[in-house]
Structure 1
């Protein structure tokens, strides 16, 4: 055997051994690509896809702190004396919204958590605000009605009256469990809905004996129906709300008009009520207006005024008495998502139906709010 044959044989043997070892080698799998959060722009800004799903999620809310004050308010003969003073409050709100497209329309849900440091009715713990599910135009859950779609200032009261709510029906914008169907045609929209008031009271049929041994007859008439039609044409928006409550057999009509006029925005709000009910129990009628003037890109000032007539609910109807209120609200954008609000208002009450006494008061607040 010559040298050339030996070298060729050695090379062939080494190649065979190397091939066998390569066949048995362990090859590490490449890592799967990481799925980053994707922006979802199908439902507006702020949404992102929940990883691994086609559901879009939006997380938002605000943190607010404020100090409010009021003067003494004494209406002789009514026994409604409110001492003046001040109070502080800090509020946190967290809102989660989930949306996805289905063959039946948009499937949506909302969970709103809120807590206040000064809320005797709720305590300091988080509680549910608007929380519902929605498919297409059908909404079921706990939500507000469209009684008032908002004015630019803090003077006109849509969820309170000059005497508070004497009947205390939790009127106007109290959260209720209900069902609603909304039609939205762009410039025109409307809805019809049913409210179940006082849901926390338990079963609505039959009678029972409570823990004190008292016989209690359940009230199954705490139901209301409400609806709204609205239109937006250019810089003018108007809506008409109507509600009827079966327990008190009374109803209410309310309307809000907003329009871009001159250097600002005008808002007008009016209500007529056939009698005290869970949608409105503050007066037979009221009308108010506010005009927000855009002083600069960051500052706006909104003077406002409101008048109520027949403010004393008696035996399912409204008796005499009237009140008026004037004030001004200032909004200032300190920086993006951080705003300061201040308001001061004066209310004058005139009682003229057999109950002696008048009353007036000042009230207002300073508020700092960070939105996210």
Structure 2
């Protein structure tokens, strides 16, 4: 097994010698006599643990620890401060910066060996758990991908054959039962499609395919589909599209369509009665022109504590087994991931009079005659 590495950072060579002798030949040791030198060495070849003196000229131990813990590539390296100071205020400061322990001078070789050994063992177990968790996550995603594709294969002909029999069947009772089969199969197929899309975005990255298209024609399609869903539940569907919007924009039309369809579908799904609304407008955010879509409803609303959580995997605002609205809760997760790929943002709010409002913003990018993309002033 490869020996674990320990870096000793101290501006006094005698202290480095004492610490080195305390650790013996059990570890591969690296040395630095200043914070700046240590930072360069750590970033080049990350050690498993750092023994760090506090009182050093220039960049002291606290400063170095603060930099290391602020860098994602080094924040997980355990840091043990070595100091002659024992004031409680200094000890608290070091622990708040992210250090895991203190060694006090004069140095005891037995204590040095014991504490370094214990913390490196903890790090090894933590690294092992992270590796196992990553492997389990990969296995889960691969399982979902494989199972989803296997489920979709028989579902498509089931729906098709059911539709064929429905068109030929005259008995009302049989048509009723076949209709229930068809709706259930279609719902299951939708869940499978969500799982497949989730796996695709996580596995392939799902890079957007930006292209030029006519915004009004696109919105006509989106509103027509949403109106059909709303009419099916007897809901009012209100649309307001700002008249001054550009005629042509550039983004991934397919992704944007999927996100809007998911949000509008959810609005209809969670609204037993009342209305669903869609508003589209141009808005300047921090000097950048954005295209903003607001999807509102008069439905069941969202608990304040769930406003952020609902965008996580397999989550619905009502997480109980007996919830009234079926589904895996993947729709909003997919909407969030696609929005991020479009360099946009998405969030949920509670409507003042009840129900909820989902806000979607994406950069408003226009095509230019020479093919170069631009953002409006």
Please say whether Structure 1 and Structure 2 have the same fold, judged by a TM-score greater than 0.5.
Answer: no
Q: Name the structure, 1 or 2, with higher relative contact order (CA <8 Å, separation 6+).
A: 1
Structure that is richer in strand per residue: 1
Instruction: Please give the range of the TM-score, normalised by the shorter of the 2 chains.
Output: under 0.3
Larger Rg: 1
Structure that is richer in helix per residue: 2
